[in-house]
Every structure is written in C-alpha cells, then in structure tokens.
A and B are shown apart, each in its own frame.
Chain A
C-alpha cells in the first residue's frame, strides 16, 4: 500500500494550477515552495562509524495573503487532492484571521509588489559528495578520530591515554527549491551544503576538556562540494588539537577581571551572530518573535546611532559564493543583495521581509514609527532576508551571511601589539538575554598574552558583556589574510522552531576591558 503520490516532474504543473486556483479565489498574494532535500549524516567515534543515515525529504508549502492576513499550509504528500486541501487550508486560515482582525493592510497592500522572475540557479561546487564512494567519503573523519588509538609508549603516547574519545561529524545536503508566486515568478535554486568537524574529549577525574576543529558544534558548514572537506584538512590538524586538549588538563584556570581580549575568528562569527545578527531582525523589533526568541534592543529609534566602534562595519551578504546562508533569491522571491547593517559603527539597517519593510516604511497601523526616518533600505522594500527551513515551514526573517569587514594585519601582529590580554578560541557555550544585550560565552581555550607574547594556556574561560559597550570597545580587526567564512547549521528561530544554516565572514578581533573569568559557580 502506498498513497500514490505524483511523480515529481508532474507535480510542478499541479502547483502552477494551485497558484491560478488561489488567484481566482481573490487572494492578495500567494507563493508556493516545493523542496527536495537529500542529506547524509555521519557521526563517528574513535575510528568507527557510530551512526550513518541517509534522508530524502520532500514537500510543498503554500503561503496565502488575503485582506492583509497570512495563512500557510504544507504537506509531504504530493497529490492533486492534497495540494488543493492545503491551498484551501491556507486560504481559510487567512480568511479567518482577516475576519476577526480586519484588513491590516487595506488600502495600501500588506506587501509591495516584486517584479516577476524566471530563473534557474545552481550554486557552484566542484565535487559532488554523493558520488564519492562511502569509504573514501568517510575516510578523513574515520582516520582523524582514531589518531589517539595508535599504540605509543612515548611520553606523548602516555598523555594520549587521557584522550577519552574523539568524535567526528560529516553532513552533506543537497537542496532543490522551486518557488512560484502570483506575481509570475518561477525560481529554481539548487545548493550543496557541506559540514564537518571533530571534537577531542580529554578526561582527568572530574576535569573534562574539549577541543574542536575547525569549529565546535559539529564544525564549519558551507555551500560547495566535497572540496570543502578537503580544504579543511582535518586529518592534518587533528594532532595539534589533541595536544591542545591534553595541555588544557594541566592548564591554569582563566583569571578573573577586565582584560584586553582577542577573539579567534570563529568566535567573532558567533559574537556577530548572537549580538548583532539576531538583534537586527526587524520582526524581533516589531515584537513578532516574543513568543520564543524574544525582542531586540535595536528598535527603529536606534537607526543611525553609534552602537559599535568606528572601525566596525558589518553587512549581510547572501550573494557571496560558498556561504552557508547564500542564495540569489530569498523564499518570498526577493533578489538577494549586500546590505550594510553597521557602517563605521553606526546601526544603519535591519534585515527585512516584504511585510515588515512595508510596515516600517509607511509606519502603518499600530507601528507608529513615522516620527523617525525609515532606513534607506526599507524604503526600497524588502532587502531579501527571508528564508524557511524546508518546505514545511513558513518563511521568516533570517540571517544570510552576516560578515564583518576585515581591517589589516595578521593574528600574530595583533598578539604582538597586546601588552596584557587573552586570546580566546573556539566557542564552548553561549547565552544571551531576550533583548540581545546581556551575553556570556564560554570558550574551549584561552591563551594568556604578556608583552606581546603568548605565555600560557588557560582553561574554563568565560567572557561576558553588554552588546553596545562591548562592540564600542573593539579596537582592532585582522585583515583579509585572516578573514574566512564560518558557518553553522543550527540557528534556531520561529515558533515552531526552524533551524537553518547561516554564514559569517570574520577575522580575529580585539576588544578592550572585557570581563573575563573562569566558570564560577
């Protein structure tokens, strides 16, 4: 028994028919996304595959705007009957809300029109990971996670006994999206997203120390093919990471106080993510995320205000090749573009959707922000920052690739220029309040810097701060040589929660008078 769904090539005409059907029903706007996501994930432990899974996930989501109210319905069942059922469901949701709440956007439309687009896009990649034989595909991770198991009677060999486990992660995803809307757009986009990393765990009694490579939380995620795994060169870097983990067991605890702090590139990426990226989402500023993720301190009245030091320039750029959050059109058919978020330390724009940009620019309804000038970007409509995690979720404002512009110099120059400070590398824990102000990050490793030289490793390091004060204390950002794309695959937002891939270009960055300490309880 199967449910006789349609073959995929015959399903697109059904969706086109659905658009026409909803148009006839009088909708203000409708879009349909059909997604096919193929993925393979591997978790390895100590040279052996612990879990390996393959998944094919397909379905469609229909979004309807009727008299200023939205409805969304999605299904994995690719049949004509189910499609009509979901179209009717989305429409009846929107009608029910419009009936009780009135027409929010009446007279001016809840969204501005986008020009119709017909385009097919394949994000560039070199090596299709799915055609590499499994043994070869897994080889770097299996070898890296077994490096501590080689019999070795040397001093290093004895130290290796403190390595309890090495875990490895691989994640390959191929996403094909087809987007249609009532404006006549037909957009197909295809991406490969690759992630990999290792985690070395050392245990000595009650002391557990962890070092990860190339980043924690399952590694770095980027668009591209298997060449991303080759570029990471995990096997070559694992011995150093093992040595650092062993070193941490004997390291001193991080001292407490205020210090000059250099954050490694991957932590700068996460610092941007939590304290800037989420804070500039306009739906948060409008209170729409209050049910779970919270609000933001960056309300429209802060536009133009200095919230970082003058050397800080942060921008959103989904057009970058190879970012975990790259695309050419967002999930409501808006063309992607680079958007300045922080310019010379000043807050200059939000991440917006078609609906929120419209509301902000016209100060419509209850959003009485008309007294403040709307940001330049929002006057031009959405800046293309809307995505959904899969076919089954409604598109919402998401970070794409939120990057900091590099300045100059390499990490060694920055260390040499620091009299008394700490270099903090690789995130261990993260926490921030509902307004994205009060943050605390735990780090895998710290390196004490005295008179421009690294003097000793430090463990259990934690730093904390308040977002604007922290970013205003930024006094150096490394240059292009150190700048690279980082990416994570688990940025959570929305309700039901949507977990999505986000990219961050970052370089090591220095901050003054940062509150640091060891994990204190």
Chain B
C-alpha cells in the first residue's frame, strides 16, 4: 500500500502539471492492487499467484475535447508521456457538444472498507486454511483418496476431492481532479469458491467477505459435501417447465447478465436493453426489487465511483416496475441526465454499470421454499450463462452444475443430471413466488470493489430446454 498521502500528492502534482500544459480540466485516477490467489484441485494446491499493480488513468478536457490515456509505469517519463498522450488525443478529437466538466467535489460517506486481517493474510495462512479443508474432507468422507481420471473428468473411486480457489485482494482507489476532488479509499476482499467432487456428483459453496476472518470453511465444506455425498446416481429428467429454487449462486449468474445487458446506460442508449422504453412499466413480479446502493453497509460499501462522484442509492426495479439506469457523467450529460455515480475506469467501453447491486430479501428460508414445491428442481448454480440470445426479453441460456436435485412433496428426493435452461428472465422473474430471507455476497466481474448481494428465488414454470 502506498497510502493516502503519497498517492494524493502524486495525483495532485500530475493534474497540476496537466493544467500547466494548458488543458481546461484534468483528472488523474489511481488504482493500485495487491492480489493473491491460491488454486486447488484434487485436494492439492496447484497454483499460487501474487500480483502487484498500480495504474494511473488520465482524462483531460481541452475546449470540450476529451482525451484519455493510462499507464501502469510510475516512471516519471512514462507518466508525462501518458499525460501528453491524453492531451494529444484531446487535441485531435472533435469537441463534445454536451460534455463540459468532470464531476465537482461532493461529500462522501465514511466507511471502513479495509481490514488488516485480509491484507496481511499470507500464503502460509492460505495453505493452512486449505489444508484444513483437505484434512476435514478426508476424515468426513472416510475413504482412500485415490484418483483415476474418469470419463466425466471427476474423481472415480470412493473419495471426494476438493477444488476451487482462495483469493485475497487489497486495493487503493484514489482520484484527484482540477475541480478540487481529492478522494481516497482503501479496500480489501477475500473470496473462496469450493467444489467437492465425487464419482457422479459435485457440490459447491462460496463466500465473499471484506474481512477474511469471517470466512467459515467448516460451514462451506458442510454445504458442498451435503450436495456431493449422495446415495443414488443422478437421474436424467425430461426437459420442460419445472418449479425451481435457484440458490443465490444461480441467481447471481443471472443477475450479472441482467446488469450487463440491461442496467447500464450503454445498452439503454443503443436500444438493446430490456429497460429501454420500459421505465415506469411493470417488467417483473411485484415481489422483485433490485437496487444499487454503494452506501448500504449490508453490502460492500464504496463511497465514490471511478470519477469521484458520490455513491447513492439507485432504484433499478421497484416492486416489479422498471425505475432507473446507471449513468456516469459522460453519458449522463449526453442524454441530459445526472450521473448516478456509476462510472467505471475510463477505458471500460461497456459501462457504466451498477456495482453494488442488491435483490431485496424475502421472508423464507430455502427449506421453507422447498416445502412449497410439489414437484420441482433445486439448482445450486449455473455454468456459462449467456444473456445475448434476445436482450429485449432478457432471454438467457446456461447449464446447471455442482448440485441439481429433484424435489417432490417439499423434499429433495434425488440428484439429477445437469440440465440446460433457456428462458426469458423477465418472464421468469414475473413468476417469482418466494424469495429467501438470507442473501449472499458475490464479487462482480467489472470492478474489484463492489459486489452483488443476492437471495434465492422460487420460480414457477422455469424452462429447461434440450
């Protein structure tokens, strides 16, 4: 960690230098990270990586002409070259009629987002944590852990194997602009995904925390094993419409795609979003409320976005009614709106996106939801969901993985083979019957500081295709 003072001093000097080159406004964003991931497979650690990176992104405005450039070299010559490149791009660009200013200073919430326990978690600590899982797994499955490659790529024999990844991340996000913004926030996060695999079944559990001390490997192993240690071979179920319980990990896969194809300004503007021309209209069940809130302490709070705009709540879908879209300053000014505080790093062409997304919790446990089902399917998670089939109806497809079960008369009866779903999520989310009270946090793919906070859903007539 460089720390607030060093980074802000560096960014201030760079924006000052930019002004000396004659630009109207200048912005310097610092994103520094120290990441460490330990991967494991077949109950062995197979990979360790540690990465330390620091990137500075410049944006300059010169007579309404915008230029952007970035570098991760902190050599003064490279920083100057990068700044001059941003200025050169601005000089060669056409003036933006709509864009005249970077954000102005505003008051940020004060959150604790950095935890020493996570930042100081060493490789030895990680190995110890994982070895503990391997030992527990060995004792709980009480069988020799021999592995022969099986036709399905899973462990053949009597043992259960653990695979997955444990990662920690320490991030510093800082921004200075010539309008007077000086923002700095350090973050940490820890994520573990655990897959337990046996001959014909596998289970999954994950946990995402700011403080690694909250990660409970005993609980995770118990969840994953419960899905793995099964008496019967998975049965094949006919494709068709079934009542389903999508556990939080499965809902999260879908939510990520909803964000990508529908909740950001880019797709809203180009007309491909299901939210385009739907604001104020009912698009889902009134049970469904989706919002973004960087200030919600029950999630992964973030005080400001990647251009220094303060975070605030954005209602996206409220009781099934489409309400709002995530904007940054650039697109907000182009379409005569106000930024919602969702800018990503300047070179991200697909954003802005909501980055602290919540689905409002319901009032049931997953077991209570299962008890509501006469005949149905429980899905632990999906693999390779794709939401580009028809973005206007949010039609998606994907495969189930790591624990799919048939439910009969309110109880899980037996595991079933993985199935493909193909479904309009707007229609599916219009048939939501119940929402779990417990929600789970998941990292988001489009930045390192936010999260999705997601419950399980009970949905009627969910379509499983061939």
Determine whether B94 belongs to the interface, using a CB cutoff of 8 Å to chain A.
yes
Stretch of A49-57, A187-195, A478-486 contacting B (4+ beta carbons < 8 Å): A49-57
> CA A296 – CA B153 in complex, angstroms?
6
Are B420 and A440 in contact (CB-based, < 8 A)?
A: yes
> CA A203 – CA B267 in complex, angstroms?
12
Which residues 387-411 in B have Cβ within 8 Å of A in the complex?
Answer: 387-393, 395, 397-399, 401
Are A366 and B147 in contact (CB-based, < 8 A)?
A: yes
Residues of A within 8 A of B360 (CB): none
Are A77 and B74 in contact (CB-based, < 8 A)?
A: yes
Q: Mark B407-424, 1 if CB is under 8 A from A, else 0.
A: 000000000001010111
Determine whether A369 belongs to the interface, using a CB cutoff of 8 Å to chain B.
yes
Determine whether A230 belongs to the interface, using a CB cutoff of 8 Å to chain B.
no
Residues of A within 8 A of B388 (CB): 428-429, 442
Residues of B within 8 A of A89 (CB): 50, 123
Stretch of B33-41, B101-109, B364-372 contacting A (4+ beta carbons < 8 Å): B33-41
> CA A440 – CA B465 in complex, angstroms?
10
- Which one of A72, A75, A207, A521 has the highest number of Cβ atoms from chain B below 10 Å of its Cβ? A521
- Which listed residue, B163, B193, B389, touches A287 by the CB 8 Å rule? B163
Residues of A within 8 A of B73 (CB): 5, 56, 58, 76, 78
Determine whether A125 belongs to the interface, using a CB cutoff of 8 Å to chain B.
no
Q: Mark A348-368, 1 if CB is under 8 A from B, else 0.
A: 000000000000000000111
Are B70 and A55 in contact (CB-based, < 8 A)?
A: yes
Determine whether A414 belongs to the interface, using a CB cutoff of 8 Å to chain B.
no
Are A92 and B123 in contact (CB-based, < 8 A)?
A: yes
Supposing A288-B46, A519-B390 touch, asked if A495 and B397 sit within 8 A by C-beta, the answer is: no
Which residues 267-304 in B have Cβ within 8 Å of A in the complex?
Answer: 269-272
Which of the four size classes fits the interface of chain A? 35 or more
Are B466 and A54 in contact (CB-based, < 8 A)?
A: no
Q: Which residue of the partner chain B has the closest CB to A218?
A: B349
Q: By DSSP majority rule, is chain A's interface helix, strand, loop, or mixed?
A: mixed
Are B48 and A70 in contact (CB-based, < 8 A)?
A: yes
Are B35 and A496 in contact (CB-based, < 8 A)?
A: yes
Are A496 and B167 in contact (CB-based, < 8 A)?
A: yes
Are B151 and A135 in contact (CB-based, < 8 A)?
A: no
> CA A438 – CA B146 in complex, angstroms?
28
> CA A51 – CA B78 in complex, angstroms?
22
Determine whether A412 belongs to the interface, using a CB cutoff of 8 Å to chain B.
no
- Which listed residue, A54, A294, A392, touches B89 by the CB 8 Å rule? A54
Are A78 and B383 in contact (CB-based, < 8 A)?
A: no
Which residues 73-113 in A have Cβ within 8 Å of B in the complex?
Answer: 73-78, 82, 86, 89-90, 92-94, 96-97, 100-101
Q: Which residue of the partner chain A has the closest CB to B52?
A: A75
From residue B278, how far is it (CB to closest CB) to chain A in Å?
9
Residues of A within 8 A of B42 (CB): 287, 366
Are A291 and B347 in contact (CB-based, < 8 A)?
A: no
Residues of B within 8 A of A496 (CB): 35, 37, 49, 51, 167
Determine whether A403 belongs to the interface, using a CB cutoff of 8 Å to chain B.
no
Determine whether A159 belongs to the interface, using a CB cutoff of 8 Å to chain B.
no
Determine whether A201 belongs to the interface, using a CB cutoff of 8 Å to chain B.
yes
From residue B52, how far is it (CB to closest CB) to chain A in Å?
4
Are B9 and A96 in contact (CB-based, < 8 A)?
A: no
Residues of B within 8 A of A76 (CB): 52-55, 72-74
Known: A56-B73, A76-B74. 10 other contacts (CB 8 A): A2-B10, A2-B74, A5-B73, A74-B53, A89-B50, A208-B271, A431-B384, A434-B401, A438-B420, A496-B51
Residues of A within 8 A of B (CB): 1-5, 7, 41, 43, 45, 48-59, 69-78, 82, 86, 89-90, 92-94, 96-97, 100-101, 133-135, 164-165, 167, 201, 203, 206-208, 210, 284-292, 294-297, 299-302, 366-369, 392-394, 428-435, 438, 440, 442, 460, 462, 464, 495-496, 515, 519-521
Q: 3 closest Cβ contacts across the A-B interface?
A: A295-B153, A521-B424, A290-B163
Could you list 15 examples of A-B contacts with CB < 8 Å?
Answer: A1-B13, A7-B75, A43-B349, A48-B94, A54-B85, A97-B48, A164-B270, A291-B164, A393-B51, A431-B384, A433-B383, A520-B465, A521-B390, A521-B423, A521-B424
